[in-house]
Amino acid sequence: MQIPLARPDITKRDREAVLSVLKTPILSLGPKLKEFEKKFAKYVGRKYAIAVSSGTAGLHLAIKSLGIKKNDEVITTPFSFIASANCILYEKAKPIFVDIDSRTRNIDPEKIEAKITKKTKAMVIVDIFGQPADWGSILRIAKKYKLKIIEDSCEALGSKYKGKNCGTFGEVSVFAFYPNKQMTTGEGGMIVTDNKKIAELCYSWRNQGHSGRDKWLDFIRLGYNYRICDINCALGISQLSHIEKTIKKRDWIARTYNKYLGPIKGLIIPYVAPYTTKMSWMHYVPQLSPKYSRKDRDIILLKLRKVGIGCRDYFPPIHLMPPYRKLDCQRGDHPICEHISERVIALPLHNEITEQQIIYIAKNFKKILWKN
Ligand SMILES: *Cc1c(COP(=O)(O)O)cnc(C)c1O
């Protein structure tokens, strides 16, 4: 049996939507771009949506739009996909990592205040694996210290914190559509905000700093090519139309995993906080109990792969990767993140997984743990 870790769910209608764009002469900056943005803004519940070429491009523009610049300090989590910290370095600001909560694996609000200095301007807060960050506490801190918030909701499309959508907590929030996310456009991302000025800047930066007026080559500021083409947008529109079905299926998979993996000794199933009123699972990531080492975990990953089970170590600590080591980050800086990173195992999560496959995964997991 071969069970991939992730795979996009592309329906017949998705394929038809893509083909229909290819029958028109407008492949970029066309009607599908506007339609995608409009429908996405409505789904998340924000005034503006700006589609871009990737989640990373979206995070970069989000950082710029809040005026973050050289030597500013930006608080963020070390337990995430590296893009959530890289965007801070793009503008030569300084990422200040804060350790995570051992259960939710999101940034720990109780450790934030000790890291705030006169130079702190903003926080990049990630909703990891689809679980919302502790927004109540985070918004209180942001208000007290007048810090701006960028929400990296790239993993949390459809999740809710106390009934409120992820992607509505940041002054600017960002989503991503890489093929392993809950929905995909191949490559792509979306910036959402209620701030008109920020939205206008992002529309402009996305397209080389264009004025937005009906005039060709009317560039009024330094911008980028962070455009996404209409072919991708058509796929996005179609994928968004069945997102609730996808979220439900992934939730069923997570609950089925819990049922079969829950009783296995040495394995800790993912925690869902009471404030998470809707969980849109991006990854299903159980952890090995503390008695296992990183070496054990790496051997277990290999053994799982050997029996056809796709799996990965989501995520290694960002602060221990070379671009951050250079900034004086070192082992021991964020012990909870490091402990968890050494023990996580992301398991297959996509629309085609069956109960039978989950039983197969649980059976093999048990066998492998027994021998370790
Ligand atoms: C996927 C993801 C991104 C953006 O990824 P792209 O590949 O650039 O679209 C950013 N942050 C997190 C936490 C992600 O999971």
Q: In this structure, which residue's CA is closest to atom 13 in ligand 1?
A: 81
**Residue 211: predicted pLDDT:** 95
Residue 372 confidence (pLDDT) above 80: no
- Give residue-wise pLDDT tens across range 308-345: 999 999 999 999 999 999 998 999 999 999 999 999 99
Which residue in 11, 100, 145 sits closest to 335, CA to CA?
A: 100
Helix (H) or strand (E) segment spanning residue 94: strand 94-97
Q: Quick one: pLDDT band at residue 1, thresholds 50, 70, 90?
A: confident
CB of 365 closer than 6 angstroms to any ligand 1 atom: no
Q: Is 120 in the pocket of ligand 1 (CB under 6 A)?
A: no
- What share of residues in the chain are helix, strand, coil (percent, to 5)? 40, 15, 45
Q: Which residues contact 52 (CB under 8 A, 6 or more apart)?
A: 58, 61, 188, 189, 190, 191, 202, 206, 226, 227, 228
126 lines ligand 1 (CB under 6 A): yes
Measure the CA–CA gap between 211 and 216, rounded to whole angstroms.
Answer: 9
Beta bridge mates, 107: 100
CA 253 – ligand 1 centroid, Å: 22
Among 365, 369, 217, 239, CA closest to 305: 365
pLDDT score at 282: 98
pLDDT tens per residue across span 24-39? 999 999 999 999 999 9
- pLDDT band at 367; cut points 50, 70, 90: very high
Average pLDDT taken over every residue of the chain:
97
pTM above the 0.85 mark?
yes
Task: Summarize pLDDT for 71-113 with one digit per residue, the tens.
Answer: 999 999 999 999 999 999 999 999 999 999 999 999 999 999 9
| 234 bridge partner residues | none
